[in-house]
């Protein structure tokens, strides 16, 4: 009976699921993210075979993967470019949700934001594992931000560090967490899909009842085949594999010499610009946290007006432009006029 129940669930999810007739190509971002997640886990598992999570050896083990392991360079290049590609589609997916007022589906929105938080943690910890100059000092900066938590902050920082500074114990902690978190993400993705199939996707027409919808099977299977085109994005892996990286990522970590200009990866630059725009450490960290947490406030919005309303589109476009400018300002030096512009765009955000 259990097998039949599972079979019925699978058939109803993949074949008979009522879907809006106006779902566009932008609807595919979610399924693309699922494909990239599985691809990241696949390549990541192979990299763990040869990676050594130890302060003196980790940078050398990454070089060993690149130069000595058969096809190791390919797996690593796919893995770190896959992380960038993941965030490209993740941000597109979130902005598509804002355009379509997807926060009406409260369970779907909440579970999606939890996945977003976990993916940000996952990406940061993977970045540190290279144990290069930029990733080491990024770890020092980001983990020390936890010290703003009243009373427990310093204890929490020392616990994560495993000592009195970022050291080999910190690396091991990050490695274990980086390995375990994707399995929790997969579980949350399944919950996210379950909630989505319970309510159906939002669309431009905002179709209410199942009487006005199409069957998911075949029609949207064909649309999902567009995902195969996403593999063409991996062409830039061979053409420009290091385009999105930082030159400091090819210098081994040195705890005595910090880089002249510490910047995170491109996908965290908008939040980093907001952090730097505020001179007070506590308020800066609060603004950094709110830059992502503020999306939870959409759960309180009882917005059942048409998503074709121009004001909604204007506000989402404004947020999009703001994020682009903040990302550019995040990698600029802290000087005039970039610092003043960061304040202005942080306020608009």
* 251 and 278 assigned to the same domain: no
* 268 and 230 assigned to the same domain: no
* pLDDT of residue 235 exceeding 80: no
Summarize the confidence of residues 201-225 as an average pLDDT: 70
Considering the entire predicted model, what is its pTM? 0.90
Collapsed DSSP state (helix, strand, coil) of residue 214: strand
Is 132 among the domain residues?
yes
Residue ranges making up the domain that contains 301:
263-348
**Final residue belonging to a domain, choices 261, 279, 297:** 261
* pLDDT of residue 240 exceeding 60: yes
Is 1 among the domain residues?
no
Q: Mean pLDDT over all residues of the chain? A: 87
Where is average pLDDT lowest: 6-15, 30-39, 192-201, 325-334? 6-15
Which residues participate in catalysis according to the annotation?
A: 197, 201, 223-224, 265
* pLDDT of residue 159 exceeding 70: yes
Residue 83: closest CA among 54, 43, 114:
43
* 136 and 69 assigned to the same domain: yes
Residue 166: closest CA among 145, 199, 140:
140
CB 133 within 8 A of CB 259: yes
pLDDT in the model for residue 160: 95
pLDDT digits (tens, 9 = 90+) for 209-220: 666 677 777 777
* 277 and 212 assigned to the same domain: no
- Rounded Cα distance, 181 and 37, in Å: 12
Does 198 or 65 have the greater pLDDT score? 65
**Final residue belonging to a domain, choices 261, 288, 314:** 261
* 242 and 296 assigned to the same domain: no
* pLDDT of residue 335 exceeding 60: yes
* 161 and 59 assigned to the same domain: yes
* 257 and 276 assigned to the same domain: no
* 156 and 272 assigned to the same domain: no
- Rounded Cα distance, 75 and 99, in Å: 35
Is 14 among the domain residues?
no
Is 153 among the domain residues?
yes
* 124 and 225 assigned to the same domain: yes
CATH of the domain at 37: 1.20.810.10
Summarize the confidence of residues 324-332 as an average pLDDT: 94
* 188 and 80 assigned to the same domain: yes
Indicate the number of domains in the chain. Answer: 2
**Final residue belonging to a domain, choices 234, 261, 288:** 261
pLDDT in the model for residue 212: 67
């Amino acid at each position: 009976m259990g097998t039949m129940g599972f079979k019925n669930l699978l058939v109803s999810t993949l074949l008979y699921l009522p879907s809006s007739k106006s779902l566009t190509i932008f609807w595919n971002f979610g399924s693309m993210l699922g494909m990239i997640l599985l691809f990241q886990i696949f390549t990541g598992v192979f990299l763990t075979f040869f990676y050594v999570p130890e302060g003196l050896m980790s940078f050398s083990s990454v070089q060993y993967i690149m130069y000595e392991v058969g096809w190791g360079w390919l797996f690593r290049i796919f893995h770190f470019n896959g992380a960038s590609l993941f965030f490209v589609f993740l941000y597109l997916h979130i902005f598509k949700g804002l355009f379509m007022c997807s926060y009406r589906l409260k369970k779907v929105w909440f579970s999606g934001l939890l996945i977003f938080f976990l993916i940000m943690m996952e990406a940061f910890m993977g970045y540190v594992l290279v144990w290069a100059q930029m990733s080491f000092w990024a770890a020092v900066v980001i983990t020390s931000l936890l010290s703003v938590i009243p009373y427990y902050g310093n204890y929490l920082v020392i616990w994560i560090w495993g000592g009195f500074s970022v050291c080999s114990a910190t690396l091991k902690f990050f490695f274990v967490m980086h390995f375990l978190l994707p399995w929790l993400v997969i579980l949350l993705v399944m919950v996210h899909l379950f909630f989505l199939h319970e309510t159906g996707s939002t669309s431009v027409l905002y179709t209410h009842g199942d009487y006005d919808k199409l069957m998911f099977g075949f029609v949207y299977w064909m649309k999902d085949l567009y995902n195969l085109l996403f593999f063409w994005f991996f062409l830039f892996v061979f053409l420009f594999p290091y385009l999105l990286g930082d030159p400091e990522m090819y210098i081994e970590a040195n705890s005595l010499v910090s880089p002249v200009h510490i910047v995170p990866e491109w996908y965290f630059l908008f939040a980093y610009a907001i952090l730097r725009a505020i001179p007070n450490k506590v308020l800066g960290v609060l603004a950094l946290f709110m830059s992502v947490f503020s999306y939870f406030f959409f759960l309180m919005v009882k917005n059942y007006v048409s998503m074709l309303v121009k004001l909604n589109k204007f506000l989402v476009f404004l947020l999009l432009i703001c994020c682009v400018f903040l990302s550019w300002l995040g990698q600029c030096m802290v000087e005039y006029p970039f610092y003043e512009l960061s304040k202005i765009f942080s306020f608009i955000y």
